[in-house]
Amino acid sequence: MVTRSKDWLALVGFLVLSYGVAALGSLATLDNVRGWYATADKPWFTPPNWLFGPVWTVLYGLIAVAAWLVWRRRDREPGRVKAALVIWGVQLALNLAWTPAFFALRWLWPAFAVILLLDVAVVATIVRFRQVRPLAAWLLVPYLAWILFASALNAGVAALN
């Protein structure tokens, strides 16, 4: 029974971390989406603004659950789990860094460099998660697809502005 409650507490912790990054990112995004970004030139494939919130809400949940599934293997494969969760933390930090760089600071090309690092970090996370818990790796595939798309959007906005 103690293990189960510890497992659920860990899931809550991963959710708090992931959605905490989302909340901090939204602080940099909200005013700027209605501000400079609303009037910025954007590539033709830019989705409507209302789509970003629901997509990111699902993705942050998947990011948290994937990490939790890996964490649950900590007793069986402590070295692999630790390495996987370290790179997971790196990708989460890069995710957090991108939003203010792009939206609040309007450093469009530096933000592009950050999101390219994020792309690499998410691929590395998927590789590490696959070694520990393949399902966890699969849960990150939609996230990778979305940030690759976001990378193209970032490059497009930077090139047009």
3-class DSSP assignment, residue 147? helix
3-class DSSP assignment, residue 54? helix
pLDDT at 3: 60
CATH number at residue 65: 1.20.1260.100
Cα 153 → chain centroid = 16
pLDDT at 1: 45
pLDDT at 85: 98
The 10s digit of each residue's pLDDT in 41-57 is: 999 999 999 999 999 99
Question: What's the angle, vertex CA 85, arms to CA 81 and CA 88, rounded to 5?
Answer: 145
> Could you say which residues of the chain have pLDDT below 70?
1-3
**Identity at 159, one-letter amino acid code:** A
User: What is the domain count for the chain?
Assistant: 1
pLDDT at 34: 83
Terminal alpha carbon distance of the chain = 57
106: alpha, beta or left, given left = phi > 0 and alpha = psi -120 to 50? left
Residue ranges making up the domain that contains 11: 4-160
Its pTM stands at 0.94
CA atoms within 13 A on the CB side of 85: 20
